[in-house]
Structure 1
């Protein structure tokens, strides 16, 4: 990894995330998270209620717009 590349966000490090419509479709772990030490990627329906919870890690997502 070069000095100019950013490290991926650690997957499942937090339990609450705020996402925007630009982040849709919503998946957990999020695309910018490291996947090697996480659960399988799942897509979460958030559009109807504005909230979603991951069935694997219980991370709670809130849609901000």
Structure 2
């Protein structure tokens, strides 16, 4: 998962990052909240309901997902 220093910019995720959840394993302790899985494939983007982190899907969707 690429690190995102600018929180106003979406975090780019790919098929390798699925299933997508927040917070990511590399999140600092102060940024932890209950894990929530996010559907980034339906609209190509998702926002975490806890911390408002924005995720944007890039690349090709895995087979079987549209």
Q: Same fold (TM over 0.5)?
A: yes
Aligned structure 1 segments of 4 or more residues deviating by more than 3 angstroms: none
Gaps of 5+ in 2: 60-66
Partner residue, 2:62? none
Structure 2 equivalent of residue 40 of structure 1: 34
Partner SS state of residue 22, structure 1:
helix
Higher helix share: 2
Structure 1 unmatched runs, 5+ = 1-12
TM-score by length of 1: 0.68
Normalising by structure 2, we get a TM-score of 0.67
Match for residue 17 of structure 2? Answer: 23
What is the RMSD computed on CA atoms of the aligned residues?
2.2
Among residues 30, 52, 55, which one is paired with 1:61 in the alignment?
A: 55
Question: Matched residue pairs, number?
Answer: 54
Q: Assess, with a 3 A threshold, how the Cα gap between structure 1 residues 56 and 27 changes in structure 2: closer, same or farther.
A: same
